[in-house]
Amino acid sequence: MVKLSLLYSSSLHLLALSKKLALPNFTRTLCSIPTTMSINLQSHAFAGNPMRSKTPKPSDPFSPTQALETLKTRLLDNPHLPSSSPSFKVLPFRKGRPLASTIGGISDLKPTWYLGWISLADCKGLLGNCGVELSGDSLVYLGSRPEEDAVYWAIDVSKEDGVVPELGGKQLCFVELRTLMVATDWADERAMAELAVAGHARALLEWHSTSLFCGHCGEKTVPKEAGRRKQCSSELCKKRVYPRVDPVVIMLVIDKENDRALLSRQSRFVPRMWSCLAGFIEPGESLEEAVKRETWEETGIEVGEVVYHSSQPWPVGPSSMPCQLMVGFFAYAKSLEINVDKEELEDAQWHSREDVKKALTFAEYEKAQKTAAEKVEQMCRGVEKGQNFSADYNVESGELTPMFIPGPFAIAHHLISSWVYQDAPDSVDARPKHPCGSNL
């Protein structure tokens, strides 16, 4: 499980939040240090997709192949279709943005967002009104929930401009996945699960849009296995193409002797934000080798021991890389002199544990989440149309602090907070130490 540590400004605020977090899958630890709270989450943001825990066998009616055959029959309006067949729910996307809706906040409660699932019949009618005939190849299988007798699909409607006003009339809107990410209450098991589903769907649809042609012979590709893979349409080629995943190492470099961590800034970061080093894995190297190479290339620091922390799918990158896999590590420095590669980084500095703890203390992550949730609600109600809610505010807040780090939705946050609260192991064989009686 992932441990998330947050510090709030008042004990009353902490008490109110602790009551809200009375969920079976979460534990709370109130510590003697100033209003510190540790929350043990089941997984990172975008992980823990409930539809991907098990893949049904090919003969199962909920399997991709069987579900696709049933869907094609359903689209033909076959009157003899058995009533016991699964129900189909479809999640439309437009330019990488999932359809969403909200339930407005009551009194001091913030609004809550939901994915905008529509029925297969509604999806067919929606596209029909735009002059488009829905086909099985247009839909991508996401998974199933047999206990709900439901199979879930995603569809890209980016080319159909007519769907936007029709859905807007039902207070549904297409929202940037990053905005939904920030708006997600990380203590809400349902919202975290829906975020994971949306991330998985976006990654698949973006991959489909960038793999239209065979990289071997140039012919068109066609979807197979309900969109879970593609294949070249040429009879002479028939090359199989699978969804792309781009592995990235992300590491917190630690100076054990001086109790410091190496944080860096990129020019694209918002002001005062610092984070971990990160870089893509190159062909022919191990994860540990990538950690050492990237650290040396970007900062001139030589790394010795490398210790794995956790991993996180990251489907909110550019469409050319529809799903990065962030693989997190602690890396222990053998040298301390920094030589920044200015083509890669704007700056890199050693920061004391106390300074980083202050950055965690004052960054108002809950405020950012509430602000984002309110923005989503405004969008779904049609307020301030055209405004880019994913970029018009500083999602981490922290205007009064000299530095802050990414929010709890990012693996960088958990790497850094784990070290701050002394959870980073001193060596591969060392057991992590958890503060204030955490039961991790």
CATH number at residue 107: 3.90.79
Q: Which of 162, 194, 226 is the last residue of a domain?
A: 194
Cα(410)–Cα(392) distance, integer angstroms: 19
Spatial contact of 266 and 295, defined as CB atoms under 8 Å apart:
no
At 369 the pLDDT is 83
Task: Look up tokens 């202050």; give the residue.
Answer: 358
Instruction: Please check whether residue 84 lies inside any domain of the structure.
Output: yes
Residues 173, 275, single domain; the answer is no
CA 171 → CA 99, 102, 165, 166, 250, distances in Å? 10, 8, 10, 9, 39
Collapsing DSSP to helix, strand or coil, 74 comes out as helix
Here the CATH number for the domain that contains residue 354 is: 3.90.79.10
Spatial contact of 309 and 315, defined as CB atoms under 8 Å apart:
no
Q: Which of 166, 194, 222 is the last residue of a domain?
A: 194
197: part of which helix (H) or strand (E)? helix 189-210
Task: Judge whether residue 247 has pLDDT over 70.
Answer: yes
Domain containing 178: what range?
64-194
Residues 266, 134, single domain; the answer is no
Spatial contact of 322 and 210, defined as CB atoms under 8 Å apart:
yes
Residues 263, 156, single domain; the answer is no
Instruction: Please check whether residue 238 lies inside any domain of the structure.
Output: no
Instruction: Please check whether residue 179 lies inside any domain of the structure.
Output: yes
Residues 276, 370, single domain; the answer is yes
Residues 155, 294, single domain; the answer is no
Residues 322, 254, single domain; the answer is yes
Instruction: Please check whether residue 101 lies inside any domain of the structure.
Output: yes
Residues 153, 251, single domain; the answer is no
Instruction: Please check whether residue 28 lies inside any domain of the structure.
Output: no
At 111 the pLDDT is 82
Residues 137, 266, single domain; the answer is no
Neighbours of 112 (CB within 10 A): 19
Instruction: Please check whether residue 11 lies inside any domain of the structure.
Output: no
Task: Judge whether residue 438 has pLDDT over 70.
Answer: no
Distance of CA 132 to the CA centre of its chain: 31
Cα(117)–Cα(91) distance, integer angstroms: 5
Instruction: Please check whether residue 410 lies inside any domain of the structure.
Output: yes
How many independent structural domains does the chain possess?
Answer: 2
Collapsing DSSP to helix, strand or coil, 17 comes out as helix
- Report residue 8 as tokens: 């709030």
- Report residue 149 as tokens: 């007798």
Residues 412, 273, single domain; the answer is yes
Q: Which of 194, 222, 254 is the last residue of a domain?
A: 194
Task: Judge whether residue 322 has pLDDT over 90.
Answer: no
Residues 313, 413, single domain; the answer is yes
Mean pLDDT across 355-380: 82
CA angle, 333 as apex, 332 and 338 as ends, to 5°? 145
Residues 349, 285, single domain; the answer is yes
What pTM, to 2 d.p., does this model score?
0.82
Instruction: Please check whether residue 45 lies inside any domain of the structure.
Output: no
- Report residue 191 as tokens: 């919202």
At 78 the pLDDT is 60
At 76 the pLDDT is 82
pLDDT tier, 154 (very low <50, low <70, confident <90, very high otherwise): very high
pLDDT tier, 240 (very low <50, low <70, confident <90, very high otherwise): very high
Residues 270, 415, single domain; the answer is yes
